[in-house]
Structure 1
Amino acid sequence: MNQTPTHHTEPSRLFESRAARLRNDSLSTATAVYQWEFSDAPGEDCYLSTSSDQPPRVHRGRHPAPTTRLSISLRDHLLLLSGQQDPLTTFTTGRLRLSDGQGNPLPFPAVQRLLLLLLVEWHVTPESIAAIEASGRKLDNVTEIQRVKDLSREEFERHFASCGQPVIVEGPVKRWRASSFTPHTLRDTFGELPMSIFVRPASTEPAPQTARPTASQERTTSGRTYVQMTLREYIDTVLLNPPPLAPGELPPYLTANSLDASLMELIEYPPFFRPEAFIRPKLWLGPSGTVSHVHRDLIDNFLAQVWGRKHLRLFSPDQSRFLYPRRVDGNPFYEASDVDVSAPDFEKFPELRHARHIDCELRPGEMIFLPAGWWHYVRALDMSFSVNFFAVNQTPRVLTSRGAQHSGGNAEA
């Protein structure tokens, strides 16, 4: 398991080996200066320079005229470099701020390619997406999600991972320390941890508005609105005392917060992949009625349920042509759908009529494997505590089992 890096690690030294990844990319020939500014350790500031007449280089200190500024805490920066945190979530939760040389805010796509080259072990290509969707056509006869117990790693690989088929594994999460916690003990033990709470979707999303809790800070990133509060505040004001909701309104949702080191001792990594395959696990916490609208992750993903039940509606990768997909902020690992499967509008989205889906329920103590490319809609049926694991640092198993080698991919699990 990766260890959380300390503040004593010199960032520029860690950067130097990563910068070599840019040498064969067009980014390396564009004249630019990317300045990293550490809010909690300005003495560790460094910048990356690229130009057509010399290889990418990392320098200590501050450049007088950078083209792009990346403002982040040193701790979050080191978590990114060690693969324990992902850049998009760090940006959308407000912990990574981007601006041009004059201080004007920049969207995430302005640095996405750079960060992916520096941080991620494999990269999505049009060919890999086509291969993932082709694999879905072989699963036309799958009409329900299997539930299994005591699944070995070899059985998981042979029957599910290699063919890109979801499966619910019963029982493993019951062994976690987290399963012994209640909302009250979670609050009393970890209540001071800072959290980002999703309260309003982007205007292009099909989701309704959410209720607005009282919070110390509100931030809008990528068109979505988050509020910053402690775990104690969220549990007290939302989880234990859900706010009144207007018709069609959704409750505030603690979504995809990277687990703090103190919470890591409460969980275990899925036993089917190497721990190094995953970035830092994500915490999802909310009252009944929280929703994740239809989307797909182009990486293998495990969703573990600690408390409560969740209803999932799944669509095979080959159903993409019926789901009106769109990219969000140019994120290559994530695609959203314009449709609302809970209230389908067949006049606006006529192709949706042809989409085949599978419904299932994820219960406390269970874990579902969602192979790369599977579309999913998720609604909490009860107060819910979930953890998910994104295998960003390895190629999806359905691709490696076909003998396909994609950019940066690791064929070993």
Structure 2
Amino acid sequence: MEIHAVLSRLFTGAQAVGAQGVFQFIFSADSAIWAEVGNELALESGTHPAADVTIELDEADFAAILEGGQDVEELFANGRLKITGQVGLATLLPQMIGIAMRGAEPPSQTRTKDERFPAPEREADRVSRDQPILEAVERCPREQLSIVRFREEYLPVGKPLIITGALNDWPLFNMSREESAACFGELQGITRHGDYVSKTFSAERDFRSGSMADFISSMDDEAPESSVGARPAYMGNNAVPAQLMELIRFPDYFEESLYIKPRIWIGPKGTLTPLHRDDSDNFFAQVWGRKSFILAAPHHREALGTWSTSPDGGLEGCSFNPDAPDYEAFPAAREVTFYRVVVEAGEILFIPDGWFHQVESVSTSLSVNFWANCGRGWSV
């Protein structure tokens, strides 16, 4: 593998996702390369005295990542990939690698970091517009929700649902908090700190890496005192490591091959993910604790001031805050019906593609979510 050529493609990917700064890869004591990414791309051998982010891993592991034989998040979780400096920049690494593997051409115009774009209409928006307003989000016991019923009543029209008694066959759910914490061993995760709420989807959030077990042991039910705008630290959106996969179960409603690798969310009371929406169906499983959700239907995209992280559509956040509504700036939001639900331990919330949701921990919480990359066509 010709490292310089590979990293040149990788940092072209960095330009494409709007990542700027000095990235440094250290493969061994005598093998290091850094790149300064901005409007231009400079690539040099050796170490940099003031790199923004340093990524340390074995060259063989790096080659395996690019060949599709290793997962960057799995290497990180097991301590075989280390990150120092601005961890937020390193969180863009999977996107950068994906672009490098596809052989993308350099962007015609370098994107500005954390640039926002108009959110395009989706098929989910059009389907949602034709549906009657829900009176409430239903709760249904798992044993009464067959695959056929789910696919006929809920999936085609994008109807949210809470499935009760959904985790009874999960080993992780049937463990005490202390027992489950012991299963995390030496696994690593990325935590969010400070005012991460107002910096939704931004690489400039205060990200840090650390032990999952240590983070769990540090939590309690009361949010610690923090600076203005800050929330308690949140170990959110980490890939479920291989060691934990045997402790969870994929929901029955899609083939397992259609699920994206599940994600794990761990935090004390008070953690918050502001109003946003995904581009996949989402099964959100509550393992311990409770989480409150605010939901809104997809066709309210314009009323909620929705914006995207990509000109072609991507992660979508909202400028409207349902907990502090500014109806002068967003007058159409008065017509939006918000559904407030609490998901209890052992339940799964089905969030259909395109549904807006805001999530807050009511207590110390561990959750696992499953995005389904089913590529389904909408039908009514």
Partner of 2:40: none
Does residue 195 of the first structure (1) align with residue 189 of the second (2)? yes
The gaps in structure 2 that reach 5 residues or longer are 7-15, 17-23, 34-42, 46-53, 104-117
Aligned residue among 163, 168, 179 for 1:185: 179
Number of aligned positions between the proteins: 323
**Alpha-carbon deviation of 1:173?**
1.1
For residues 55-105 of structure 1, give each alpha carbon's deviation from its aligned partner in whole angstroms, at most 9, with x where no partner exists.
Answer: xxxxxxx999xxxxx968538964994797889x99xxx9799xxxxxxx8
Tell me if the contact between 2:221 and 2:269 (Cα under 8 Å) persists in the aligned partners. Answer: no
Does residue 293 of the first structure (1) align with residue 270 of the second (2)? no
TM-score by length of 1: 0.65
Q: In the aligned structure 2, how far is the partner of 1:80 from the partner of 1:305?
A: 35
Q: In the aligned structure 2, how far is the partner of 1:244 from the partner of 1:281?
A: 31
Tell me if the contact between 2:327 and 2:334 (Cα under 8 Å) persists in the aligned partners. Answer: yes
Does residue 317 of the first structure (1) align with residue 328 of the second (2)? no
Q: In the aligned structure 2, how far is the partner of 1:351 from the partner of 1:306?
A: 36
Does residue 168 of the first structure (1) align with residue 152 of the second (2)? no
Does residue 394 of the first structure (1) align with residue 374 of the second (2)? yes
Partner of 2:138: 146
Does residue 133 of the first structure (1) align with residue 117 of the second (2)? no
Partner of 2:10: none
Partner of 1:115: 99
User: Residues 267 and 84 of structure 1: is their aligned pair in 2 closer, same or farther, counting only changes over 3 Å?
Assistant: farther
Tell me if the contact between 2:285 and 2:369 (Cα under 8 Å) persists in the aligned partners. Answer: yes
User: Residues 308 and 192 of structure 1: is their aligned pair in 2 closer, same or farther, counting only changes over 3 Å?
Assistant: same
Partner of 1:272: 253
For residues 117-173 of structure 1, give each alpha carbon's deviation from its aligned partner in whole angstroms, at most 9, with x where no partner exists.
Answer: 849xxxxxx999432100111223312111112211111100011111111111121
Q: In the aligned structure 2, how far is the partner of 1:349 from the partner of 1:127?
A: 16
Q: In the aligned structure 1, how far is the partner of 2:163 from the partner of 2:69?
A: 29
Partner of 2:243: 262
Q: In the aligned structure 2, how far is the partner of 1:112 from the partner of 1:292?
A: 24
Partner of 1:352: 333
Q: In the aligned structure 2, how far is the partner of 1:197 from the partner of 1:84?
A: 19
Aligned residue among 383, 403, 413 for 2:364: 383
Q: In the aligned structure 2, how far is the partner of 1:176 from the partner of 1:381?
A: 22
The gaps in structure 1 that reach 5 residues or longer are 1-9, 16-26, 28-35, 46-61, 65-69, 98-104, 120-125, 207-219, 404-413
User: Residues 333 and 182 of structure 1: is their aligned pair in 2 closer, same or farther, counting only changes over 3 Å?
Assistant: farther
RMSD (CA atoms): 4.5
Tell me if the contact between 1:237 and 1:243 (Cα under 8 Å) persists in the aligned partners. Answer: no
Partner of 2:110: none
Tell me if the contact between 2:296 and 2:337 (Cα under 8 Å) persists in the aligned partners. Answer: yes
User: Residues 360 and 83 of structure 1: is their aligned pair in 2 closer, same or farther, counting only changes over 3 Å?
Assistant: farther
Partner of 1:51: none
SS state at 1:179 partner: coil
Partner of 1:32: none
For residues 293-321 of structure 1, give each alpha carbon's deviation from its aligned partner in whole angstroms, at most 9, with x where no partner exists.
Answer: 10000111110011112111110000111
Percent identity for Structure 1 against Structure 2: 25
**Alpha-carbon deviation of 1:379?**
1.2
Q: Greater helix percent: which structure? A: 1
Tell me if the contact between 1:145 and 1:168 (Cα under 8 Å) persists in the aligned partners. Answer: yes
User: Residues 378 and 37 of structure 1: is their aligned pair in 2 closer, same or farther, counting only changes over 3 Å?
Assistant: same
Partner of 1:215: none
Bigger shift: residues 170-179 or 296-305: 170-179
Q: In the aligned structure 1, how far is the partner of 2:195 from the partner of 2:229?
A: 13
Aligned residue among 269, 285, 288 for 1:307: 288
TM-score by length of 2: 0.70
User: Residues 323 and 264 of structure 1: is their aligned pair in 2 closer, same or farther, counting only changes over 3 Å?
Assistant: same
Aligned residue among 206, 211, 226 for 1:230: 211
SS state at 1:250 partner: coil
User: Residues 359 and 83 of structure 1: is their aligned pair in 2 closer, same or farther, counting only changes over 3 Å?
Assistant: farther
User: Residues 222 and 160 of structure 1: is their aligned pair in 2 closer, same or farther, counting only changes over 3 Å?
Assistant: same
> Which one-letter code corresponds to 1:189 in the other structure?
C
User: Residues 204 and 310 of structure 1: is their aligned pair in 2 closer, same or farther, counting only changes over 3 Å?
Assistant: closer
